[in-house]
Amino acid sequence: MSKKMLGDIMREVQKLQSEMTKVQEEAKQKTVEATAGGGMVTAVANGAGEIVSLKIEKEVVNPEDVEMLQDLIIAAANEALRRAQEMVSGEMSKLTGGLQLPGLGGLGGMFK
C-alpha cells in the first residue's frame, strides 16, 4: 500500500471520527420516553444514556407495596435507556453504512 493511499485512508478515518463525535454531541440533546404500568411511571433518557426525567403518577404510590413501584421505575428506566441506545446506534449506522468499525469508538462508551 502506498503512502498516499494510507494517508487518504487516515484522512477518511479522521473525518469519520469527527462526524461520529458530532452525532454523539447531537444525541445528547435528543430524548426518548418509555412508560411502565400502563403509563403510571414515565422515564425520559437522552442520547448520552442518562435518565433526564422521571414521572410517577400518585395512584401508583402505595406505601404498602414499595417493591411494585421500584419494579415499575426500573422497567421504565431500562426501556428508556434501551431506546436511547437504539437511537444513537441508528444515527451511527447512517455514518458507517451499518458497518461495525472496531477502534472508532462505536458509541463512544456512552452505554458502558
Q: Under 8 Å CB-to-CB from 103, ≥6 apart: which residues? A: none
- Across residues 79-99, what is the average pLDDT? 85
Nearest to 87 by CA among 25, 7, 30, 35: 30
- Across residues 73-91, what is the average pLDDT? 94
Grid cell locating 103: 477502534
| Residues 89, 107: Cα–Cα separation, whole Å | 7
Q: Is the pLDDT of residue 109 over 50?
A: no
Domains of the chain in sequence order: 30-96 (3.30.1310.10)
pLDDT tens digit sequence for 53-69: 999 999 999 999 999 99
pLDDT tens digit sequence for 93-106: 887 775 655 544 44
